[in-house]
Amino acid sequence: MYLDCAVFENYRNIEHFPFSFDKGINILYGKNAQGKTNVIEGIYLFGSGKSFRHAREKDLIKADKNHAQVSIAYVDSVRENKMTYRMFRDLSKETFKNGIKIGRMSSFIGNFKAVLFCPEHLSIVKDEPAQRRTFLDSAISQINRSYLSALMEHKKLIEQRNALLKGYEKQKDSFAVTMEILSEKLAQDAAYITEVRAKYLTKLFSLVNGYLSEMTEGHEKAEFCYLSHIAGNETEELFDREENLKRYRRIFSKDIQKEIIIGSSIGGAHRDDFEIKLNGMNAKIFASQGQQRSIALAMKLAEGEISREESGEYPVFLLDDVLSELDRDRKHYVLSELHDRQVIITTCDENDFSGINNALKIYVENGNYEYR
Ligand SMILES: Nc1ncnc2c1ncn2[C@@H]1O[C@H](COP(=O)(O)OP(=O)(O)OP(=O)(O)O)[C@@H](O)[C@H]1O
Ligand SMILES: [Mg+2]
């Protein structure tokens, strides 16, 4: 898959610009705060259905305008497609594919496939569980619609179950019946979500190790450990959905009194996490900045590889400020690994790419873009 062009209108600091991209490496370069990440963010709207910087729709609209829009044309194995993402000040948005309005985000996500790397993704290695879940959920959702639907339903059910727990005093009569129905649906979704995540991580880390090993001449090896209320000693145990279901049923029934007191669900797939180990030690605590960045990057390369295995073609790689903090050997490895894929990459330091021929270079200054 490759991105042919993208037209930005009133998006962040970009008033209007029609980009056309090469099938290979595209470099956006310029000083800080000029509008490089804005382009990556605008394109990735089509990958995840929202801003990866957690901005609300109205923050994406150019300061003095009422609405903004980004339109893209991309080519997949079948045809060229056009998609549009339009946002308004009242936080609403409209999305289209080939002229037809798409109402549900679950139908919007998964059309244009992209892998994003941004500096914030170091948090996958070093921060809270939510960052790792977001990574997993957005990677898997792009290639698996049933997962995305289960995830959305699970989120809704947890909200409903928590509301029921909080409102126990007012609904004592119907509490038990409603709780049983909600908990059973939740257990079904959670059993499936945990199974898919465990299988995905297992595949991901076998690829991550290949990349890390090549990047570091065999010095670094990463592993993960799945952390969940239903996890045993081996990740493979989570591949069995029926077993997961039994365990989740137990979890949703055993602590109800405690849950009523705290007014929230103790267990569920929304609390899953995984620990990353580098050479046997917790990477969050022991890995250096460069090592953490290398793991996050290897995870992104692996995400792209799995996406290609599932859909038959590489996604578009959007790499925001990816090379800083990497030494020369690691930089060289990353660029050589990406040579046969479409990459849109940002940098403040043009020299990072001095060895690369045939790249399309776009100079960025104050929301204006110049092909050089
Ligand atoms: N809604 C908006 N309206 C107008 N300008 C905006 C809006 N949102 C952000 N900006 C501007 O966009 C610029 C930041 O753009 P961006 O994040 O793309 O910078 P960058 O080139 O990636 O910089 P860095 O190298 O520091 O990462 C800032 O000047 C900011 O004021
Ligand atoms: Mg930036």
Instruction: Please give the average per-residue pLDDT across 226-240, as a whole number.
Output: 90
Residue ending a domain, among 263, 281, 310, is 310
Q: What is the pLDDT of residues 313-366, one digit of tens each?
A: 999 999 999 887 778 888 888 888 888 899 999 999 888 887 777 889 999 999
Closest atom, ligand 1, to C-alpha of 35? 18
Q: What is the pLDDT of residues 345-360, one digit of tens each?
A: 999 988 888 777 788 9
Query: Ligand 1 centroid vs 367 CA: distance in angstroms?
Result: 8
Residue ending a domain, among 258, 288, 310, is 310
Measured in Å, how far apart are the chain's first and last C-alpha atoms? 25
Same domain? For 75 and 161 the reply is no
Q: How far is CA 261 from CA 178, 270, 342, in A?
A: 18, 20, 52
Which helix (DSSP H) or strand (DSSP E) does residue 185 occupy? helix 172-215
Q: How far is CA 225 from CA 14, 132, 231, 303, in A?
A: 43, 12, 10, 18
- Please report the DSSP string for 52-101 in residue order: TT---HHHHB-TT-SEEEEEEEEE-SS-EEEEEEEEETTS-EEEEETTEE
Residue ending a domain, among 268, 291, 310, is 310
Nearest to 197 by CA among 124, 109, 133, 283: 133
Query: Ligand 2 centroid vs 115 CA: distance in angstroms?
Result: 17
The SS3 of residue 274 is strand
CB atoms within 10 A of CB 249: 17
Nearest-CA residue for atom 28 of ligand 1: 33
CA distance 9 to 369: 13
Same domain? For 184 and 232 the reply is yes
CA angle 215, 216, 219 (to 5 degrees): 145
Query: Which structural domain, as residue segments, surrounds residue 134?
Result: 122-310
Q: Counting beta carbons within 10 angstroms of the beta carbon of residue 294, is it exposed (0 to 12), middle (13 to 18) or buried (19 or more)?
A: buried
Same domain? For 178 and 216 the reply is yes
What would the two tokens of residue 361 be? 């270079």
Contact assessment for residue 183 and residue 250, using Cβ atoms and an 8 Å cutoff: no
Instruction: Please give the average per-residue pLDDT across 134-160, as a whole number.
Output: 94
Q: What is the pLDDT of residues 297-312, one digit of tens each?
A: 999 999 999 999 999 9
Mutate to test the pocket of ligand 1, among 34, 51, 89, 320 (most ligand atoms within 8 A of CB): 34
Nearest-CA residue for atom 5 of ligand 1: 13
- Please report the DSSP string for 204-258 in residue order: HHHHHHHHHHHHTTT---EEEEEE-TT--S-GGGGG-HHHHHHHHHHHHHHTHHH
CA distance 316 to 23: 9
Residues with CB under 6 Å of ligand 1 are 12-13, 32-38, 59, 61-63, 321, 348, 364
Query: Ligand 1 centroid vs 180 CA: distance in angstroms?
Result: 49
Query: Ligand 1 centroid vs 73 CA: distance in angstroms?
Result: 24
Q: What are phi and psi of 247, to 5 degrees?
A: -70, -40
Nearest-CA residue for atom 8 of ligand 1: 12
Contact assessment for residue 183 and residue 161, using Cβ atoms and an 8 Å cutoff: yes
Q: How many domains does the chain have?
A: 2
Average pLDDT, the chain: 93
CATH number, domain at 271? 1.20.1050.90
Same domain? For 104 and 126 the reply is no
CA distance 70 to 18: 10
- What is the number of the ligand closest to the CA of 58? 1
Q: What is the pLDDT of residues 11-55, one digit of tens each?
A: 999 999 999 999 999 999 999 999 999 999 999 999 999 999 989
Query: Ligand 2 centroid vs 37 CA: distance in angstroms?
Result: 4
CATH number, domain at 344? 3.40.50.300
- Compute the chain's Rg from CA coordinates: 22
Same domain? For 214 and 81 the reply is no
Query: Ligand 1 centroid vs 37 CA: distance in angstroms?
Result: 7
- Please report the DSSP string for 316-348 in residue order: EEEEES-STT--HHHHHHHHHHTTTS-EEEEES
Mutate to test the pocket of ligand 1, among 15, 37, 57, 116 (most ligand atoms within 8 A of CB): 37
Query: Ligand 1 centroid vs 161 CA: distance in angstroms?
Result: 40
Q: What is the pLDDT of residue 320?
A: 94
